[in-house]
């Protein structure tokens, strides 16, 4: 079965990566949809975020991963690709409340089931907002501990204007 894991991934964190790793225990193929939410102000461009995701996928999962930059409604992607499940990461009760609202939308617009996965315990408090704050304040070494090494190195290159 195939599943979608969608998010802005601005940037992708070890928390996201651990949800992806756990999802591979359940699904044959995972479509990671890097969404461009025009209502958000992103630190990294859609193309950069897509590459950061690509650099965060473990080699053992690469052949089973489809990474797609996407502008639009994720339900359209799910329907067009006949995806059977949607993966949502949940760290706490606040996340769950928000995700339950999104699940109602998914139920009304697709035939996909929603599967909730939490990150590994050591990444439960990791979030992109924190990592963006470290980048914005020039505290790159603090951001490093929350990202996959290859993705962090690439993010640093993006931050330095390359």
Give the residue, 91 or 155, on which the prediction is more confident: 155
CA count, 13 A, side-chain hemisphere, 109: 14
Kindly list the domain boundaries of the chain, sorted by start residue: 2-159
Q: What is the mean pLDDT of the segment spanning 4-21? A: 95
Class of domain 2-159: alpha beta
Model pLDDT, residue 80: 96
Q: Whole-model pTM?
A: 0.91
* CA proximity to 23, closest of 2, 7, 8: 2
Length of the chain: 162
Rounded Cα–Cα distance for residues 65 and 5 (Å): 10
Query: Can you give the C-alpha Rg of the chain in angstroms?
Result: 15
Is pLDDT of 157 > 80?
Answer: yes
Kindly give the residue spans of alpha helices, DSSP state H, lying in 110-148.
128-136, 140-144
Kindly give the residue spans of alpha helices, DSSP state H, lying in 3-148.
14-23, 46-54, 74-80, 93-109, 128-136, 140-144
Model pLDDT, residue 162: 63
Is pLDDT of 90 > 90?
Answer: no
Query: Among 7-16, 99-108, 135-144, whose mean pLDDT is lowest?
Result: 99-108
Q: What percent of the chain has pLDDT over 90?
A: 72
User: H/E element holding 157?
Assistant: helix 149-159
Binding residues: 8-9, 16, 40, 74, 88-91, 99, 123-129
The two three-digit tokens of residue 46, written as one number = 């859609």
Rounded Cα–Cα distance for residues 146 and 131 (Å): 7
Binding residues for substrate: 8, 40, 74, 88
How is the chain split among helix, strand and coil, in percent rounded to 5?
50, 20, 35
Binding residues for ATP: 8-9, 16, 89-91, 99, 123-129
């Amino acid at each position: 079965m195939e599943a979608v894991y969608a998010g802005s991934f601005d940037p992708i964190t070890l928390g996201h990566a651990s949800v992806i790793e756990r999802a591979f225990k359940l699904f044959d193929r995972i479509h990671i949809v890097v969404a461009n939410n025009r209502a958000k102000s992103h630190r990294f461009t859609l193309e950069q975020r897509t590459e950061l995701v690509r650099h965060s996928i473990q080699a053992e999962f690469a052949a089973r991963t489809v990474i797609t930059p996407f502008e639009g409604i994720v339900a359209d992607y799910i329907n067009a690709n006949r995806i059977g499940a949607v993966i949502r990461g949940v760290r706490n009760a606040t996340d769950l409340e928000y995700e339950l609202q999104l699940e109602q939308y998914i139920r009304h617009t697709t035939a996909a089931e929603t599967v909730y996965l939490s990150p590994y315990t050591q990444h439960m408090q990791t979030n992109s907002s924190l990592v963006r704050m470290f980048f914005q304040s020039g505290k790159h070494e603090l951001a490093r501990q929350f990202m996959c090494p290859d993705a962090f190195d690439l993010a640093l290159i993006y931050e330095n204007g390359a």
